[in-house]
Amino acid sequence: MAGAGDAFRRRRARALDGPLLLPLALGAAAERALLASGRLVPTVSLWAVRPRRFARDFAAELEASPRIRVLLGAQAIGLVERGEGGRVAAVRLRTLEGCDLEARARAFVLACGGLENARLLLLSTDRRPEGLGNASGLVGRCFMDHPRAVWGRVELVPGARLHLLRGRPVPNGKVQLGLAVAPAIRADRGLLHHYLTLESEHSSYAREQYDVAVQLAKRLLRRGHAGGRLELRGVLAGRTPDLLYLLTPKEILPHWAYRLLWELHERLPRRSRSERLVLVHFCEQPLDPDSRVTLSERCDPLGVPMLRLDWRIQPEVVRSMEALCTLLGEELARTGLGRLLPAEEEPRFTDASHHMGTTRMGTDPRTSVVDPWGRVHGVANLWIAGSSIFPSGGHANPTLTIVALALRQARRIASSVGAG
């Protein structure tokens, strides 16, 4: 797929040129002061206005390719081993009309996402009741996400401006600095990778509503292979105006209008009173085999068992969050920019839709599911691509790493099946 890859790189380069450099160079004196001691380091997040639609952007190239055939409307429901085992002979497919098919090939790559990759191995029990590639019992274990919590607040002195830490709109989206503990301190204290961003605080009630809005958006999006999962329970119609208020302006106004308002707002003289910001944390998780997915008794509309998720959040996560908050408080005091306010409650976590670790990579089949190239231990022609093969999760969004690993794997797979 070299053509599609090249097109992707060209468009991405256009999208990121210029606009990023400008805000980084402008008016970041407060951020520079906060980072001057070297105890905190910046992280950079880029948020795009629009998601990439693969069908729209790549359908023509895929159709034109003599080497690619795209089949739509059928779901993989397991892998077939025949003969002695140790090789996959076919992938079993089922359509919503109830038609069962098999697709045969020399090599197979599961790239169905961080949960579904594990599900398909667990469903493939032709030769092994524990599931394909599951001799170690590790398929589905060590599930990780990036626990996200709105936890802790800071109060800035009147007039203090944190342009980049608050996030700044750029033509194609938003760029936002975050803060993390410097690597040497993290290693010394045994902390996890973790960063936080600063957001405006409206009130604790508004914070709750923001969490409700995030959950609602996730539920609305969750329709697909696992069947309709739209649940409106827990969302009170009477609170809809609050949700609209919280999602305005950046999610509702056109992006150009949001940018204009933001620039005007930044140029207005600051209010003379101090401003409060909430801390939004994104954390790594330590390895935990009890954090896992298993097959449940419930089936999807195709009659195939769904997954049950037991996601654990370990005490080390909270310890790392506390350590970063303490450092931030000390740096705010040192620079005279503000102060950390005492946390009023325990953190409440949501996920970040980053599903990792369920078919982890390693050299030892006793402690991993795939080898360093993503090939399933003990299965000669089956590879796995995606964040399910991550042996650890870090704190950064996973998709660029997924793409980098996939490019590396693609070359290896092509040479191993003689299609280079």
Ligand X SMILES: Cc1cc2nc3c(=O)[nH]c(=O)nc-3n(C[C@H](O)[C@H](O)[C@H](O)COP(=O)(O)OP(=O)(O)OC[C@H]3O[C@@H](n4cnc5c(N)ncnc54)[C@H](O)[C@@H]3O)c2cc1C
| Residues making contact with ligand X (CB under 6 A) | 75-76, 111-113, 116, 221, 224-225, 353-354, 386-387, 397-399, 402
Q: How far lies 373's CA from each of 40, 89, 143, 173, 376, in Å?
A: 35, 20, 20, 34, 9
Q: Which is nearer to ligand X, 111 or 309 (CB)?
A: 111
As measured in angstroms, the least distance from the Cβ of 270 to ligand X is 31
Q: Which is nearer to ligand X, 225 or 276 (CB)?
A: 225
Q: Count other C-beta atoms under 10 Å from residue 318's C-beta.
A: 18
As measured in angstroms, the least distance from the Cβ of 224 to ligand X is 6
Q: Which is nearer to ligand X, 341 or 396 (CB)?
A: 396
Q: Which is nearer to ligand X, 36 or 101 (CB)?
A: 101
As measured in angstroms, the least distance from the Cβ of 38 to ligand X is 28
* CA pseudo-torsion sign 262, 342, 352, 244: negative
As measured in angstroms, the least distance from the Cβ of 37 to ligand X is 30
Q: Which is nearer to ligand X, 163 or 225 (CB)?
A: 225
As measured in angstroms, the least distance from the Cβ of 66 to ligand X is 23
As measured in angstroms, the least distance from the Cβ of 183 to ligand X is 21
Q: Which is nearer to ligand X, 55 or 333 (CB)?
A: 55
SS3 for the chain, per residue? CHHHHHHHHHHHHHHHCCCCHHHHHCCCHHHHHHHCCCCEEEEEEEEECCCCCHHHHHHHHHHHCCCCCCCCCEEEEEEEECCCCCCEEEEEEEECCCCEEEEECCCEEECCCCCHHHHHHHHCCCCCCCCCCCCCCCCCCCCECCCEEEEEEEEECCCCCCHHHHCEEECCEEEEEEEEECHHHHHHHCCCCEEEEEEECCCHHHHHHHHHHHHHHHHHHCEECCEECCCCCCCCHHHHHHHHHHHCCCCCCCHHHHHHHHHHHHHCCCCCCCEEEEEEEEECCCCCCCCEEEEEEEECCCCCEEEEEECCCCHHHHHHHHHHHHHHHHHHHHHCCEEEECCCCCCCEECCCCCECCCCECCCCCCCCECCCCEECCCCCEEECCHHHCCCCCCCCCHHHHHHHHHHHHHHHHHHCCCC
As measured in angstroms, the least distance from the Cβ of 324 to ligand X is 21
As measured in angstroms, the least distance from the Cβ of 383 to ligand X is 13
As measured in angstroms, the least distance from the Cβ of 217 to ligand X is 7
Q: Which is nearer to ligand X, 225 or 412 (CB)?
A: 225
Q: Which is nearer to ligand X, 338 or 394 (CB)?
A: 394
Q: Which is nearer to ligand X, 96 or 419 (CB)?
A: 96
